[in-house]
Structure 1
Amino acid sequence: MKKLLPTSTAGSLPKPSWLAEPETLWSEWKLPAEELPDGKQDALCLSLHEQQLAGVDIVSDGEQTRQHFVTTFIEHLSGVDFTKRETVRIRNRYDASVPTVVGPVSRPKPVFVNDAKFLRQQTKQPIKWALPGPMTMIDTLYDAHYKSRKDLAWEFAKILNQEARELEAAGVDIIQFDEPAFNVFFDDVNDWGIACLERAIEGLTCETAVHICYGYGIKANTDWKKTLGNEWRQYEAVLPKLQQSNIDIISLECHNSRVPVELLGLIRGKKVMVGAIDVATDSIETPEEVAATLRQALKYVDADKLYPCTNCGMAPLARHVATGKLKALAAGADIVRKELQALP
């Protein structure tokens, strides 16, 4: 029988200090090139072990083999020049130096498939793999070739589909596309963003997910959140069309956010990864706090479709904080699971 309320993480987990600088996004690798492949695999095993000890049901690689959830994928593509850099505004929030699209983009070889095969060998648990979504990819680049956000996103969607099909063949159970840009560019999302996402999942038989959050717990994101007022209703603009899409699971930020929980009603019928862990604070939730968030979500999400999760990735957090939060997630889910099982 399938487990009720299976827990998972939204994406990244902290890297060990011998691999990369702790609590830092885009941290340089500390190991020399010849030692790095083994070091990444060791870190993946460590991250998996920590998830298992914490009681996480659907495990991941913790994104141990990548510096950043978007740029590491793009680094492996043709048509993007990392030496030609431009400063762009990321999600209308902060400036970053990014590579330039200089020609047609393509994927000469698989990017994460060998890592996924390695993870599959380490566990019999369901595994989830995260890929950047097409719209978030184009928001992390300067485009000097296509000169069209939609056209570039469509090309990326085709490339992501190639990668996703091979990840599925490698034994991945859930393929998740990270689309924080869906919380910003509402017209584009509804005009062509969801269509691009559906192109990325074309032909897949494994479960698919889209993760839409308010970002890592970095200053640029927390400052932005302070400007959003008492109610964060961004999801309202995109959830109705996502409810009609072919995506199986929608992953949302819920705990300690000002998202009105009733917005979950807009996607009734979909499976929902409910973010019950705040990644923007070092404070570790109690299991009861997690349980309270899940109980609120259950008013709008059927119990067999609720997947307790983290709000976003936890790469910028200290390892002991992230581990504590994962344990709280598992314990909180267990409280509510027992309550549901006790119902007549």
Structure 2
Amino acid sequence: MSTAAPLLPTTVVGSYPQPDWLVDRNILVKNNVVPRVRLKEIWRVPEDALEQAQDDATLIAIRDMERAGIDIITDGEMRRESYSNRFALALDGVDVDNPAIVSGRMGKPTPVPRVVGPIRRREPVEKRDMEFLHANTDRLAKITLPGPFTLSMQAVDEYYRDEEALAMAYAEAVAAEARDLKAAGADVIQLDEPWLQARPEQAKRYGVKAINRALEGVAGTTVVHLCFGYAAVVSEKPSGYSFLPQLADSAAVQISIEAAQPKLDLGILQDLSNKTIMLGVLDLGSKEVETAEMVAARIRAGLRHVPAERLVTAPDCGMKYLPRERAFGKLKALAEGAAIVRRELAG
């Protein structure tokens, strides 16, 4: 039975550092791009032992988050080469063996799958991941999925020939997966949608429509996460979002934003007064491990714009590219900083 979250609950965006015995981190860093197609060479464990090794790494991630004091945890995404390709490449209608080359969010040539037929989900993709997490923690459990808008931007469409139609097809697949994940024990389901702010014109036309379709019939807490990219891949970040107020019209209960590294003007949160805000208060671009007081100060800044009942505290983004020791230290500071502000509010 999951325990209830306190005021100002702490969580993670999704990923946690994968152990060096599981993945070759040099390949991740050398590529300096987030893989959209398979990157099998990243795994250091033979195929016949890989699932067991990923299970063991998942247990490490779960225990680290629990030891750090995080209230709402994930499986650390230990089984994923990237936040999106595990789900994206499991769908029908996608040619992953003959990828196209496109310019990624940061202008780098990136191999991506080609859509050559109707996008359909054959079977649950992350259901076992969720069941494993649920069976191995008594904390509230969250799992992440790539959002339909972002999925549509990470493929070359040779079938639908219509951007919105492609996004809505992905939304159908995401919705089916999200419902299965909820049934498997997910307390929170998060859609990762970094491309909303990278392609604001298309996002304004059909981004919210696709998200709402993907969350249709999904009960409980749902989140849409926006960010400017992993700190290890993107060092220069804008100080504002090109697409954010529009999410007030989305079906998501929470909106997750990166705020610490880009030093975001938190005044924009007033545009989302109907949502709970998952606020990034850990700068993952800094090698410094924040003190609890630094985290508390960032939480207090958020509370100037959002009441405590509508604020969830988190890192800016996923922690996949960080050294494990630094990631754990930052999460511990997050839990301790939130505890400081909770005591202040209790007065």
TM bucket, shorter chain: over 0.9
Partner of residue 31, structure 2:
none
**Could you tell me whether the CA contact under 8 Å between 1:126 and 1:173 is conserved in 2?**
yes
State the distance in 1 between where 2:83 and 2:139 align: 23
Cα deviation, residue 183, structure 1: 1.2
Q: Give the SS at the match of 2:288.
A: coil
Question: How do residues 332-343 of structure 1 correspond to structure 2 at under 5 angstroms?
Answer: 332-342=337-347
Equivalent residue letter for 1:281: S
**Could you tell me whether the CA contact under 8 Å between 1:268 and 1:300 is conserved in 2?**
no
**Could you tell me whether the CA contact under 8 Å between 2:5 and 2:71 is conserved in 1?**
no
Cα deviation, residue 315, structure 1: 0.6
Q: 1:211 pairs with 220, 225, 228, which one?
A: 225
For each residue in 1:163-219, what CA deviation from the matched residue of structure 2 results, as whole angstroms up to 9, or x when unmatched?
000000001011000011111222222211111000000011121000001110134
Counterpart check, 1:4 vs 2:7: yes
Cα deviation, residue 278, structure 1: 1.1
Root mean square deviation, CA, Å: 1.4
Cα deviation, residue 2, structure 1: 4.6
Counterpart check, 1:233 vs 2:233: no
State the distance in 1 between where 2:51 and 2:90 align: 16
Cα deviation, residue 333, structure 1: 0.8
Cα deviation, residue 240, structure 1: 2.5
Q: 1:118 pairs with 126, 132, 135, which one?
A: 132
State the distance in 2 between where 1:187 and 1:144 align: 21
Number of residue pairs the alignment of both structures matches: 333
Distance change >3 Å, CA 334–CA 93, structure 1 → 2: farther
Cα deviation, residue 80, structure 1: 0.8
State the distance in 1 between where 2:226 and 2:108 align: 18
Q: Give the SS at the match of 1:238.
A: coil
Question: How do residues 45-84 of structure 1 correspond to structure 2 at under 5 angstroms?
Answer: 45-84=59-98
Partner of residue 95, structure 1:
109
> What's the TM-score, normalizing by structure 2?
0.93
For each residue in 1:64-93, what CA deviation from the matched residue of structure 2 results, as whole angstroms up to 9, or x when unmatched?
111111111112111111111111122354
Extract structure 1 runs of 4+ deviating beyond 3 A. none
Counterpart check, 1:291 vs 2:296: yes
Partner of residue 284, structure 2:
279
**Could you tell me whether the CA contact under 8 Å between 1:254 and 1:293 is conserved in 2?**
no
Query: Which stretch shifts more, 155-164 or 11-20?
Result: 11-20
Q: 2:260 pairs with 242, 248, 255, which one?
A: 255
Counterpart check, 1:184 vs 2:198: yes
State the distance in 2 between where 1:280 and 1:139 align: 25
Q: Give the SS at the match of 2:13.
A: coil
> What's the TM-score, normalizing by structure 1?
0.93
Cα deviation, residue 281, structure 1: 2.4
Counterpart check, 1:152 vs 2:166: yes
Partner of residue 13, structure 1:
16
Q: Give the SS at the match of 2:244.
A: helix
State the distance in 2 between where 1:127 and 1:243 align: 25
Distance change >3 Å, CA 6–CA 260, structure 1 → 2: same
Query: Which stretch shifts more, 26-35 or 167-176?
Result: 26-35
Equivalent residue letter for 1:66: R
Unaligned ranges ≥5, structure 1? none
Identity %: 37
Unaligned ranges ≥5, structure 2? 29-33
Partner of residue 173, structure 1:
187
